[in-house]
Structure 1
Amino acid sequence: MPSSADKPEPFDPLGIAAAMGEWCCLLKAAQELRDVDAEMMDTMLEADAAGTTPVGPEAATKVRSIANLMRSLNLDPEAIRRNEPETMRRLEAACLGCTERRRCARELWVGTDAGTYQEFCPNAAPLDHLRRLRRGSC
């Protein structure tokens, strides 16, 4: 005897709604992949080639975390990437090797990262240096 799960939906007998839902999920995944720009991917691939970290969604999340933290500190990660690409690569590489991912994510989520990053972030000193440069004092 067929179950109710085997019966087609009365308003969608061909399963088009289900197919559209799956298509939307694929489109969202493609958008997330597009959000990882070429330079960020190069950084992750370099780290992987050096054997320091795996490439994957977790690595992309960590690299996005440094950009979000920089914005919280009134630093422009895109401008730094353009003007000082090596500095940005070093920041991203340190972020990739960080062991405080959960704390970082929590601090970013609740908005306390700008006041606490110095306690746990491996990029605290370089970020402080960038902030001093931005204010005009070395």
Structure 2
Amino acid sequence: MLGQFQQLGSAPWQPTKTHAIVESAINLFSDWLKHRREMRELRDMNSGDFARIARDLSVTPAELDAVVRQGPHASDELPRLLKSLGIDETTLSRTQPFLQRDMIRVCASCQQKTLCKHDLDAGTSAQHYDEYCPNASAIDELGQRP
């Protein structure tokens, strides 16, 4: 019987597609738990501290609350969009930090995430973002439209 186990165990273990799906699900659940923990911390914070943080970020407490509720990945599309348009995010954050912060806030609350992600994945963002992106006017302000 021991020989049977050795035979089964003789081939090196290979990750399967199922393993990747399970790992992805675990990571999503972990991110969700972390977000819930952060939301609890914000609820426990007194309104004065929350308002002070919002003021430091140059947003209203309501805007800060809305962005926080969207989660930590709510504006992940923005760096990808900027890169696809040839806009250096590091330079933007150094030269126009308030504009960048506003763009992050706008991206986080955008209702066109599915369309944006599709265009980013397809490599067609530069041709279509101005049709739906609420940051299109800010990008125009940068004077770097393709």
Provide the TM-score with structure 2 as the length reference: 0.55
Q: CA deviation at 1:10?
A: 5.3
CA distance in 2, matches of 1:126, 1:67: 14
Runs of 4+ that moved beyond 4 A: none
Residue 109 of structure 2 is matched in structure 1 by: 97
The answer to whether the 8 A contact 2:85-2:126 is kept is yes
CA distance in 2, matches of 1:79, 1:87: 12
- Uncovered stretches (5+) of structure 2, i.e. residues with no partner: 32-52
Q: Percent same amino acid among aligned pairs? A: 26
Residue 80 of structure 1 is matched in structure 2 by: 92
Q: Name the SS for the 2:9 alignment partner.
A: coil
CA offsets per residue over residues 66-109 of structure 1, 9 Å max, x none? 11111111111121112221111000000011000000000000
Residue 66 of structure 2 is matched in structure 1 by: 52
CA offsets per residue over residues 48-67 of structure 1, 9 Å max, x none? x53223152xx41x322111
- Uncovered stretches (5+) of structure 1, i.e. residues with no partner: 1-6, 34-41
RMSD over equivalenced CA pairs, Å: 3.7
Provide the TM-score with structure 1 as the length reference: 0.57
- What residue identity is the alignment partner of 2:107? C
